[in-house]
């Protein structure tokens, strides 16, 4: 790995033992932070082959939250006492990334939303737990014992999470009503009428050869008891809480988080955190309007090339013509999978380094698919025997045109999220960096940048597919306008929907689901376009500086070789890489 080359300001140092230098102080502290992370996150530990958290789900109580924040404060104080200027370049950058992660965590904790808003219309502890069978290594007796232990532990984490959510209600921190409708039914559907027929029972459909029959029978009986006595009642509690307490107390009126106590300040924090910049919501809004105007002109040109009088006329055709839609879920999934395999063939031409971990293409689980986004990526784990998963929504197929699948595939699978995230897990960097830091602007910016690589692959070989690419880019530009409009400028949901219907080629069902997502997850959608614009800027800078010596594969490897980093550190790193190529 080439070290990031940046200049970092010195900070005041505390007295250290005579035997320890700044590098030793830092590496010891980094390891301490990492071990504390593994102690607090048993599912993360399992994904890395560390058995310390077997049978555990972690502590979701407010007391545990406060303990973790207090620990982060102590870690940050110790970190800032280490002189960055006295560290070698690689450790100085490593320190800067860990410092940013700790500082972001502490900044979030200053807002009550971070403590008490525990779920959205598509994510939360009870929805995340439903993927436990797929995220668990299930090879040995110890693996199955750990899995059953987690079934048994769900009751406590569920009770603690519900207590915090109730506290959020008492502080007027509920989500808006409309996006949350039906969440109680989706929660109930996870467990269904018979817990023993739910997703949680699937690991016991067949006994592994590594487990003796007597032990298997005992373990199966224990699992079924946990499903009947812990998991099913817990999901019943969630559904009743949502039906009887949460939905009656949801927020009416304008949906923005700024309508909640302290919400305007919280949103300004989220804008900084998700973009890793100092941009204000208003600056982001104006950038979005500028990008929308630029992409609109490109869409008009594509519509003209297809023989249509206007962008609107072409989009109306794309939304309604049956030739662009499939009616069978299996056929739609097969189409997405075949396209993904075609894209795989381009990877050696775009990168010098590819991850060992494979990925697969699967549907979004039926219980969470309605109202969910079009697709998403689930990271895998070599240690846990899990591939990366490109999840595709196979519901409402009359709203999911085939012309959007090329851009979708390159974003969610390769060269987008799977390439970046799986490679980060395998980099020669400390595991805290590889698995314990996450910067959305980099991760999602890379995904959106990858959509442009489809141009070089020849994926957008028809006007319809090219309009699909532009629609997806417009979608991310419109997010800058819509997210800030909702949360900083007092837009209604309908204003946001109307803006996206006017500017993008997305179907009405997708737009409705997306706007609900922006409402319940404020700020996250800002990261994509801002991150992509930075990577495009850096590529242009490198091309101009290096001329005929510019190597696209080497540039991509340089962007990804340190894992996810804040955008200012990425900028400095690519400047260093350009200088090294010139030398």
DSSP 11-74: -------TT--HHHHHHHHHHHHHHHHHHH-HHHHHHTT-GGGTT-----SHHHHHHHHHHHHH
Name residues whose C-beta falls within 8 Å of residue 32's C-beta, 6 or more positions apart in sequence: 75
Question: Two tokens at 261?
Answer: 């106590």
* Predicted confidence (pLDDT) per residue in 530-561, tens digit: 999 999 999 999 999 999 999 999 999 999 99
What percent of the chain lies above the pLDDT cut of 70?
Answer: 97
Which among 125, 131, 132 has a CA at the least distance from the CA of 162? 125
What's 248-277 look like in SS3? HHCECCCCCHHHCCCHHHHHHHHHHHHHCC
Confidence band, pLDDT 50/70/90 cuts, at residue 184 = very high
Q: Is the pLDDT of residue 19 over 70?
A: no
In angstroms, rounded to a whole number, what is the distance separating the alpha carbons of residues 287 and 441? Answer: 15
In angstroms, rounded to a whole number, what is the distance separating the alpha carbons of residues 85 and 91? Answer: 10
Comparing 151-160, 334-343, 358-367, which segment has the lowest mean pLDDT? Answer: 358-367
Question: Two tokens at 346?
Answer: 């381009």
Tell the residue number behind the tokens 């690519």, with chain if given.
574
From residue 419, how far is each of 390, 415, 427, 548, 565 by CA, in Å?
A: 12, 5, 12, 26, 16
Q: Is the pLDDT of residue 161 over 50?
A: yes
What is the structure's pLDDT at 521? Answer: 97
Phi then psi for 375, rounded to 5 degrees?
-165, 165
Average pLDDT value for residue range 505-510:
86
Question: Two tokens at 197?
Answer: 């027929």
Given a contact cutoff of 8 angstroms between Cβ atoms, the answer to whether 364 and 389 are in contact is: no
The 8-class DSSP code of residue 381 comes to B
First-to-last alpha carbon distance for the chain, in angstroms, is: 18
Tell the residue number behind the tokens 């970190």, with chain if given.
79
Provide the residue ranges of all domains of the chain, joining segments of one domain with +: 22-110, 125-252, 264-532
Question: Two tokens at 194?
Answer: 């018979």
Q: Is the pLDDT of residue 464 over 80?
A: yes
The 8-class DSSP code of residue 246 comes to I
| Widest pairwise Cα distance in the chain | 77
In angstroms, rounded to a whole number, what is the distance separating the alpha carbons of residues 271 and 177? Answer: 23
* Predicted confidence (pLDDT) per residue in 384-422, tens digit: 889 999 999 999 999 999 999 999 999 999 999 999 999
Question: Two tokens at 368?
Answer: 């969470």
From residue 131, how far is each of 17, 39, 253, 283 by CA, in Å?
A: 47, 21, 34, 38
In angstroms, rounded to a whole number, what is the distance separating the alpha carbons of residues 485 and 340? Answer: 35
Helix 463-488 crosses helix 405-412 at what angle (to 10 degrees)? 60
The 8-class DSSP code of residue 209 comes to T
Phi then psi for 474, rounded to 5 degrees?
-65, -40
Average pLDDT value for residue range 192-213:
96
In angstroms, rounded to a whole number, what is the distance separating the alpha carbons of residues 279 and 85? Answer: 27
Which among 187, 194, 200 has a CA at the least distance from the CA of 238? 187
DSSP 474-522: HHHHHHHHHHHHHHHS---HHHHHHHHHHH----HHHHHHHHHHHHHST
Average pLDDT value for residue range 348-358:
97
Average pLDDT, the chain: 94
Looking at the DSSP assignment, which residues form a beta bridge with residue 381? 386
Question: Two tokens at 321?
Answer: 């013509």
Question: Two tokens at 388?
Answer: 């990366």
Tell the residue number behind the tokens 């400095």, with chain if given.
572
* Predicted confidence (pLDDT) per residue in 288-306, tens digit: 999 999 999 999 999 999 9
Given a contact cutoff of 8 angstroms between Cβ atoms, the answer to whether 468 and 505 are in contact is: yes
Question: Two tokens at 177?
Answer: 């009503």
Confidence band, pLDDT 50/70/90 cuts, at residue 4 = very low
Q: Tell me the chain's radius of gyration from C-alpha atoms.
A: 24
What is the structure's pLDDT at 371? Answer: 76
Confidence band, pLDDT 50/70/90 cuts, at residue 122 = confident
Q: How far is CA 401 from the centre of its chain?
A: 24
Confidence band, pLDDT 50/70/90 cuts, at residue 20 = low
Question: Two tokens at 500?
Answer: 């996206």
Given a contact cutoff of 8 angstroms between Cβ atoms, the answer to whether 577 and 463 are in contact is: no
């Amino acid at each position: 790995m080439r070290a990031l080359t940046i200049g970092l300001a010195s900070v005041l140092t505390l007295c250290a033992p005579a035997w320890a230098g700044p590098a030793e102080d830092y590496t010891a502290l980094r390891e301490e932070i990492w071990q504390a992370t593994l102690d607090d996150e048993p599912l993360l530990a399992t994904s890395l082959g560390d058995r310390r958290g077997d049978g555990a789900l972690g502590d979701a109580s407010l007391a545990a939250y406060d303990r973790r924040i207090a620990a982060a404060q102590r870690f940050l104080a110790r970190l800032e006492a280490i002189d960055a200027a006295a560290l070698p370049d690689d450790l100085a950058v490593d320190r800067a990334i860990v410092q940013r992660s700790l500082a972001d965590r502490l900044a979030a904790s200053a807002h009550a939303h971070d403590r008490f808003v525990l779920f959205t219309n598509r994510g939360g502890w009870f929805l995340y737990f439903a993927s436990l069978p797929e995220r668990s290594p299930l090879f040995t007796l110890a693996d199955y014992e750990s899995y059953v232990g987690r079934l048994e532990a769900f009751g406590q984490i569920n009770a603690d999470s519900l207590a915090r959510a109730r506290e959020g209600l008492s502080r007027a921190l509920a989500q808006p009503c409309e996006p949350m409708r039906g969440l109680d039914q989706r929660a109930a559907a996870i467990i269904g009428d018979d817990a023993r027929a739910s997703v949680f029972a699937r690991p016991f459909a067949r006994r592994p050869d590594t487990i003796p029959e007597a032990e298997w029978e005992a373990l199966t009986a224990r699992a079924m008891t946990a499903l009947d006595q812990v998991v099913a009642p817990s999901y019943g509690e969630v559904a009743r809480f949502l039906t009887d307490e949460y939905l009656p107390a949801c927020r009416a009126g304008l949906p923005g988080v700024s309508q909640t106590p302290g919400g305007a300040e919280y949103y300004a924090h989220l804008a900084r955190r998700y973009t890793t910049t100092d941009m204000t919501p208003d600056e982001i809004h104006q950038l979005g309007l500028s990008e929308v105007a630029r992409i609109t002109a490109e869409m008009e040109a594509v519509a003209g090339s297809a023989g249509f009088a206007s962008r609107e006329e072409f989009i109306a055709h794309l939304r309604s013509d049956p030739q662009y839609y499939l009616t069978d879920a299996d056929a739609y999934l097969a189409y997405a999978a075949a396209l993904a395999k075609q894209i795989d063939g381009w990877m050696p031409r775009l990168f010098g380094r590819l991850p060992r971990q494979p990925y697969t293409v699967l549907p979004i689980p039926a219980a969470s698919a309605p109202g969910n986004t079009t697709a998403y990526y689930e990271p895998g784990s070599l240690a846990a025997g899990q591939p990366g998963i490109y999840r595709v929504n196979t519901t409402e197929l009359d709203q999911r045109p085939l012309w959007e699948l090329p851009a979708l595939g390159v974003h969610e699978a390769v060269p987008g999220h799977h390439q970046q995230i799986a490679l980060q897990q395998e980099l020669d960097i400390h595991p805290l960096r590889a698995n314990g830091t996450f910067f959305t602007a980099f991760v999602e910016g890379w995904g959106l940048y990858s959509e442009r690589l489809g141009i070089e692959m020849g994926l957008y070989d028809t006007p319809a597919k090219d309009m699909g690419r532009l629609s997806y880019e417009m979608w991310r530009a419109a997010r800058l306008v819509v997210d800030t409009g909702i949360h900083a400028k007092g837009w209604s949901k309908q204003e946001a929907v109307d803006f996206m219907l006017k500017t993008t080629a997305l179907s009405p069902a997708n737009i409705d689901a997306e706007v609900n997502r922006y409402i319940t997850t404020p700020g996250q959608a800002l990261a994509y376009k801002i991150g992509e614009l930075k990577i495009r800027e850096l590529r242009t800078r490198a091309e101009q500086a290096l001329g005929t010596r510019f190597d696209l594969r080497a540039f991509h490897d340089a962007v990804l070789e340190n894992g996810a980093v804040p955008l200012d550190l990425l900028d400095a790193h690519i400047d260093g890489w350009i200088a090294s190529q010139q030398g």
